[in-house]
Amino acid sequence: MALITISGYPCAGKTRRAHQLKDQLEQRLADSAYEGPKLKVAIVSDDTLNLNRNAYDESRSEKPARGALLTATQRQMGVDTILIVDALNYIKGFRYQMYCAAREHKLRVCTVYVVATKDLCRSWHEARTDGLSYTPETFENLLMRFEEPSSMVRWDSPLFSVMWEEESVPTNGIWTAITAGNIKAPNSGTQVVAKAPVDALHTLEQTTSSIVSAILSSQASASTLGGSTTLALSATLNPRISLPARNLTLSELQRYKRQFVTVHKKAITLGSTEKGAVNWSEESIADKFVDYLEENLKP
């Protein structure tokens, strides 16, 4: 349904805002005036995953911690879930990863930026007694490395900023964003490419060779050159082709066959060059090769 990313300085009050938002969204979903699909609101965070704050002390422990958060986020994404990610989310590259994952699941997205001054965050951090604090060095490092969300970039927008002195989050705007906002199509570069059948290359070579042979055979037995010709490849495969009114040589047809096969070999080994699934059946290859020959054999 939707992904809501919470971002802000450490100890800026992100968890409080996440729970405020969860409570208010659940109230709207339970309201008798709500007529939409049945949804649940979930929060995923370092705390729900039992990730220790010490993971942020150095990069070799922080990277797997962020990986665990991303994996848990992807696992809980769904059309029936409004998912709130309550974490530092201070690196724009990580926010972009979650944005791409949401697009893959066809979810609406928004970012909530919990704003507080560095001095306030320091004082709140020093006052913590719940054992969820950072070392002083790590805390200062996180403040310095924080990359502020921007409404100018697609992975942070729509962006809602919540100042520390505000009583609550802007639920109305967030609700509109996650229920009526645009659902962006997945990035083509991140989509899984359907693999060609194991016999696709053999079918490609055999079918194109059969068409070349059938054209030469038909040409040799015809009383006149050119015109619409039916190629008898098998009992069930008889494509028609329009040939020019001239004698076609084996070398010419073989040249076009090599060109056609080379292009489609790349599609087989590297993935589809076309949108959607590619049909590698004999019928489909024959039709494509006939079209290719007709285009290149035009006078």
3-state per-residue secondary structure call for 113-175: EEECCHHHHHHHHHCCCCCCCCCHHHHHHHHHHCCCCCCCCCCCCCEEEEECCCCCCCHHHHH
Question: Across all residues in the chain, what is the average pLDDT?
Answer: 90
Token pair belonging to 276: 């959607």
Q: What distance in Å separates the CA atoms of residue 232 and residue 14, rounded to the nearest whole number?
A: 71
pLDDT, position 152: 94
Is the pLDDT confidence value at 273 over 50?
Answer: no
Which residues in 101-120 are b (16+ Cβ under 10 Å) and which e? bbbbbebbbbbbbbbbeeeb
Is the pLDDT confidence value at 39 over 50?
Answer: yes
Among all chains, which residue has been given the structure tokens 């709140």? Answer: 124
Q: What distance in Å separates the CA atoms of residue 103 and residue 117, rounded to the nearest whole number?
A: 32
pLDDT, position 226: 81
Between CA 212 and CA 232, with CA 276 as vertex, the angle to 5 degrees is: 20
pLDDT, position 275: 45
Instruction: Name the more confident of 198 and 168.
Output: 168
Mean pLDDT, rounded, for 14-24: 97
Instruction: Name the more confident of 198 and 249.
Output: 249
pLDDT, position 299: 66
pLDDT, position 78: 93
Is the pLDDT confidence value at 21 over 80?
Answer: yes
Q: What distance in Å separates the CA atoms of residue 100 and residue 190, rounded to the nearest whole number?
A: 8
3-state secondary structure of 243: strand
Domains of the chain and any CATH numbers: 2-180 (3.40.50.300), 199-297 (no CATH)
pLDDT, position 274: 47
Among candidates 245, 217, 231, 228, which has minimal Cα distance to 287?
231
Mean pLDDT, rounded, for 271-283: 64
Is the pLDDT confidence value at 136 over 50?
Answer: yes
Q: What distance in Å separates the CA atoms of residue 27 and residue 32, rounded to the nearest whole number?
A: 10
pLDDT, position 193: 52
Which region among 54-63, 105-114, 188-197 has the lowest average model confidence (pLDDT)?
188-197
pLDDT, position 238: 92
Expressed in percent and rounded to 5, the helix, strand and coil fractions of the chain are: 50, 15, 40
pLDDT, position 297: 87
Report how far apart, in Å, the C-alpha atoms of 298 and of each of 192, 248, 294 are: 38, 12, 6
Mean pLDDT, rounded, for 213-222: 90
Mean pLDDT, rounded, for 243-263: 92
Report how far apart, in Å, the C-alpha atoms of 10 and of each of 69, 160, 240 are: 16, 18, 70
pLDDT tens digits for 46-98?
999 999 999 999 999 999 999 999 999 999 999 999 999 999 999 999 999 99
Percent of the chain scoring above 90 in pLDDT: 76
Confidence of residue 195 (pLDDT cuts 50, 70, 90): low
pLDDT, position 188: 55
Whether the ω angle into residue 186 lies within 30 degrees of 0, i.e. cis, is no
Is the pLDDT confidence value at 191 over 60?
Answer: no
CB 32 within 8 A of CB 132: no
Percent of the chain scoring above 70 in pLDDT: 93
